Amino acid sequence: MKIKQLFIVCLFLTFTLQAQEKTVRFKVVSYNLRFGELASLEEIAAFINSEQPDVVALQEVDVKTYRDRTPHQHGKDFITELGYLTGMLTAYAKTIPHAGGYYGIGVLSKYPMSETKKILLPMPEGAKEQRALLKTNLELPDGRMFTFVSTHLDYPSSSVRQVQVDALTSALKDNPYPVIVAGDFNAHPDSPEIRKGMALWKEAGSPDFTVPADAPRAKIDYIFCYPENRWTVLSASTPKVTLSDHLPVTAELQLTFP
């Protein structure tokens, strides 16, 4: 009888381990930094560390700029310094040259990157600034892969963003790995670019407003996952920190592998 019970326990543990191996959990943070105008890099890094994320999407990331409005950030390499202060690996994509340096988007990751790629988004009539996707393929400890993308869409009009969202989906829908895309979409949830343009994606972020940080009245920051049936949202939040004019968005996600 004891041998039979031991066999059943071993069988149960085997099935449990196999089930666990098919899923992995991630903590995701997305944050528009407003080029560090309202906080030091040490304060931003301290917030990121407090969240204990696996991956972070950053927008409005300056590298060696000299803005009149931010003398405390002059000449600083945001992405490198934040990588150092958080102990995370980094990737950066310049979207435009600005104030003697670069302005763009970044990724922080606890996982190594097998590939990074900047994909420029279209600039249809009415566009104000060049925008992009920063695509990173990340390798888990067991060798499995997923793709993490940071983006920041243009702000002048919904029609511009609709074209950019179409380009985003086209660039990522046939990706060989499951995808998380996070960032500042500059669009409300009921806008065509979100409601229709991101309809194939699972929205993972909290529904809470994200701007302005001191008295939020609108949501324009998001976390999305694709393909929808591979992802489970375990929790989502919008931490109330005022280190930028945006609030950050976070999500705990579970990815199921075949």
Domain CATH number, residue 176 = 3.60.10.10
Asked if residue 251 is part of any domain, the answer here is: no
Asked if residue 5 is part of any domain, the answer here is: no
What the block records as the tokens of 32 is: 């528009």
Contacts for 110 with CB less than 8 Å, ≥ 6 apart: 53, 54, 55, 88, 89
Q: Which pLDDT belongs to residue 29? A: 98
Asked if residue 257 is part of any domain, the answer here is: no
pLDDT above 90: percentage of residues in the chain: 91
Q: Which pLDDT belongs to residue 41? A: 98
Backbone angles phi, psi at 105, to 5 degrees: -125, 155
Asked if residue 77 is part of any domain, the answer here is: yes
Q: Which pLDDT belongs to residue 14? A: 42
The per-residue pLDDT for range 107-155, each reduced to its tens digit, is 999 999 999 999 999 999 999 999 999 999 999 999 999 999 999 999 9
* pLDDT confidence tier of residue 32, bands split at 50, 70 and 90: very high
| Other C-beta atoms lying within 10 Å of the C-beta of residue 83 | 20
Asked if residue 103 is part of any domain, the answer here is: yes
Name the amino acid, one letter, at 251: A
Average pLDDT of the chain, as a whole number: 93
| Helix (H) / strand (E) containing 23 | strand 23-32
Asked if residue 250 is part of any domain, the answer here is: no
The per-residue pLDDT for range 34-90, each reduced to its tens digit, is 999 999 999 999 999 999 999 999 999 999 999 999 999 999 999 999 999 999 999
Asked if residue 65 is part of any domain, the answer here is: yes
Q: Which residue has the tokens 């500042």?
A: 184
* pLDDT confidence tier of residue 2, bands split at 50, 70 and 90: low
Which domain, by its residues, includes 42?
24-243
Domains held by the chain: number:
1
Q: Which residue has the tokens 């060798």?
A: 143
Q: Where are the alpha helices (DSSP H) in the chain?
A: 2-21, 41-51, 78-86, 158-172, 192-195
Q: pTM of the full predicted structure?
A: 0.91
Asked if residue 120 is part of any domain, the answer here is: yes
Contacts for 148 with CB less than 8 Å, ≥ 6 apart: 28, 55, 57, 107, 109, 135, 136, 138, 179, 180, 181, 182
